[in-house]
A and B are shown apart, each in its own frame.
Chain A
Amino acid sequence: MNLEIQNLQARVEETEILKGINLSIKTGEIHAIMGPNGSGKSTLSNVLMGHPNYEVTGGEVLLDGENLLEMEVNDRANRGLFMAFQYPVEIPGITVGRFMKRVIEIRAAAKAELRGEDPEMSKPTGFVKYLRDTMDFLEVDQQFINRYLNEGFSGGEKKRMEVLQMLMLKPNFAILDETDSGLDIDALKVVSKGVNKMRGPEFGAIIITHYQRILDYIKPDYVHILYKGKIVTSGGKDLVQVLEDKGYDWVKAQYGIVDEEES
């Protein structure tokens, strides 16, 4: 599958945030998007997933040639798009187990429907064993199955839950919005292990981050630097090191970016 972002522009209220993003992602590829605060990283992920507070003012996004921006949020998910939230929400009243079971069933039914099969007959079997195995893999205590989703979870536990959902849902494209923020090194390794397990010809990812750290564990195929709503440069994973060594000021100098506030 492929995800084509063409000249994407978006705003929140009256503030123009994305000013023409071009990006092409295929399954099998891991892309890292790095950028300082306020560069538009989270706006990009929210627009891709369909957050109602963001208004697309230009450009388009095509998922296998189809207009993604016209799809409802649940359709995007059913078509294989997934987002790991920067700030996962707490959902009291719904246990992790019940939530996972339901979303897996919906995804399986959607997949069956896309293949032209009867969605009623697509109920996954062996779900609980698979959930338990995946929780073990992510070093999540089995007791979490019976807890309300994210309620009272630590930051690291919430992020593991996002990755657990990704492994269970097996999306075709995952957007990880600063999944590394606030994680200690052990949690970071577990999260990375989860993403690396997904790697393969049927999976592509956009890893959004401030820091090099997570990219030590998840080697990206492509790295893009986002600055003031535009991708100012792209490269291979060597770019991560350059950025880490020289900082975002180097990016500004290199690509002739002038801060509007200062000019």
Chain B
Amino acid sequence: MNNKREILDSLKKVIDPEIGINIVDLGLIYKVDPGDEVVYIEFTLTSPGCPLADIIEADIRRVLRDDLDITGVEMNLVWSPPWNLDFLSEEARLELGYPI
């Protein structure tokens, strides 16, 4: 079984190309279920219709494979709850100039 912490650390290498901040600190990852066979990841994007879904999905698969040798990944792009600024981590807030 994979370690959720390790998976999240790895996902921090996936950068939202528009904002320049990793998807974990942006609060785009809603759920990580390490699973026995397949890792299940539920994620969102900062706005519906964001054209980057494919790129981010491919990046997620790439880092998990390269870092943790995980090939079985099931991903679900969800829009509920809708993402908002409150989902930013403190580090992302600092980076973007919001108070923490």
Contact = CB atoms under 8 A, between A and B. Distances in A.
Contact of B94 (A101, A121, A123, A125): A101
A211 interface: no
A95 B89 CA distance: 17
Interface string B10-54: 001100000000000000000000000000000000000000000
B97 interface: yes
A101 B95 contact: yes
B12 A128 contact: no
Contact of B99 (A125, A127, A128, A146): A146
Contacts, number: 26
B14 to A, nearest CB: 13
Interface string A70-109: 0000000000000000000000000101100100000000
B91 interface: yes
A256 B89 CA distance: 63
B100 interface: yes
Interface SS of chain B: loop
B9 A97 contact: no
A128 B94 CA distance: 9
B99 A95 contact: yes
Contacts of A145: 94, 99-100
Contacts of A101: 91, 94-95
Interface in B40-88: none
Q: How large is the interface on B (under 10, 10 to 19, 20 to 34, 35 or more residues)?
A: 10 to 19
Nearest to A146: B99
Contacts of A128: 89-91, 94, 100
B9 A95 contact: no
Contacts of B13: 121
Interface in A146-171: 146
A146 B93 CA distance: 11
Given A125-B12, A128-B90, A98 B99 contact: no
B12 A97 contact: no
Interface residues of A, number: 11
Given A97-B94, A125-B9, 9 more contacts: A95-B94, A97-B100, A101-B95, A121-B13, A125-B12, A127-B91, A128-B94, A146-B99, A146-B100
Given A125-B9, A125-B12, A95 B97 contact: yes
A188 to B, nearest CB: 29
Nearest to B96: A98
Contacts of B94: 95, 97-98, 101, 128, 145
Q: Which of B91, B95, B99 has the most CB of A within 10 A?
A: B91
A146 B99 CA distance: 5
Contacts of A97: 94, 100
A238 B31 CA distance: 62
Nearest to B94: A97
B23 to A, nearest CB: 14
Contacts of B91: 101, 127-128
B42 to A, nearest CB: 22
A145 B97 CA distance: 11
Interface in A112-165: 121, 123, 125, 127-128, 145-146
A77 B12 CA distance: 27
A98 B12 contact: no
A198 B65 CA distance: 40
